[in-house]
Amino acid sequence: SMGVSITQYAFVSPHSENMLFGMGNPLLDISAVVDKDFLDKFGLKPNDQILAEDRHKALFEEIVKRNKVEYHAGGSTQNSVKIAQWMLQKPHKVATFFGCIGKDRFGEILKKKAEEAHVDAHYYEQNEEPTGTCAACITGDNRSLVANLAAANCYKKEKHLDLDSNWELVKKAKVYYIAGFFLTVSPESILKVARHASDKNKIFCMNLSAPFISQFFKEPLMEVMPYVDILFGNETEAATFAKELGFETDDIAEIAKKTQNLPKENTKRQRVVVFTQGKDDTVATVGDRVTMFPVLDIDQNDIVDTNGAGDAFVGGFLSALVQEHALEECIRAGHYAANVIIRRVGCTFPEKPDYH
């Protein structure tokens, strides 16, 4: 089909390596199917994302003993850039990823998995803290995520991002993506990247990531917001964000509009806001209008695990964005990627996409 040849043509150029830059928390996902008693025991909601506290220590010890436990390379931003790379296929290393890991077995697994996914990962490695993990507690088609950041929390701007060789990779990119989760780790690193993108009229994307980000990290979030060209989030995150900002509406289209109109540094680009809503339509600001985009149909029985659906949507979206496709096309690519991911355990994917 015409679409495919255009894609191949666009990527003949060797200059497309490191065109997409991601920075975030590299985590090893430990996923297991649990029951309601397990959730109750640790005070977890069926569908949530939280940071681990002392009371969750035992959770990590228990979850690895479940009979069907799976280990997958994870971390929200890392998942998204991997999926973008998977959608693009060639050349390898279109996506760059920065984050912090430990010098340990889990860290080695993350390095190996990034390499297998053809992502150009440059980890800051330290031995104070072990590689971070994320327990994905699955019940039905819900997932409750508990992240123990550990090493991921040790990322240091001056020890990694500021190094000339690393900053050169940042400068090579045209599209930047950082999940809101990284605001808890290194807001100064995010701001440095965001300001660079804004100054050079490149595209900086961010994700609301989880309700707790808007609730407890509102200050760093709003410091970065003027530099955000594309903001992602789901319906729950959008509602929390609206509440924290006093929007006084729970209408998702109106929230998208008000978010789009927040102050913006680079006025050459109008902010785009994209809110996914699970099986319901994706809501996006297209110019001055808010438009609804239906997701792909899927039989309830085909949904294996919704963990990673949001990351996959962003990954698909970014893969079209680096090819400078229209917003509608970016959303279509996002819907395709999410539809593939929810049929599988963890944020994993088949060898090749079947996308035209």
Q: What is the pLDDT of residues 7-27, one digit of tens each?
A: 444 444 545 899 999 999 999
Q: pLDDT value at position 346?
A: 62
Catalytic residue positions? Answer: 311
Q: Which of 15-29, 59-73, 250-264 has the highest mean pLDDT?
A: 250-264
Tokens found for residue 199: 């100054």
pTM: 0.91
d(CA 300, CA 336): 16
| Calpha distance 124→103 (Å, rounded) | 10
pLDDT at 140: 83
Is the per-residue pLDDT at 301 higher than 90?
no
pLDDT at 134 over 60: yes
Model pLDDT, residue 66: 82
Q: For residue 7, what pLDDT is reported?
A: 47
User: Which domains does the chain possess?
Assistant: 20-26+75-131+149-342 (3.40.1190.20)
What integer is the mean pLDDT of 154-177?
98
Residue 234 has pLDDT above 90, yes or no: yes
The Cα-based distances of 337 to 43, 140, 202, 313 in angstroms read 32, 21, 24, 6
Residue 51 pLDDT: 94
At residue 2 the predicted structure's pLDDT band, cuts being 50, 70 and 90, is: very low
Cα separation, 180 vs 25, whole angstroms: 10
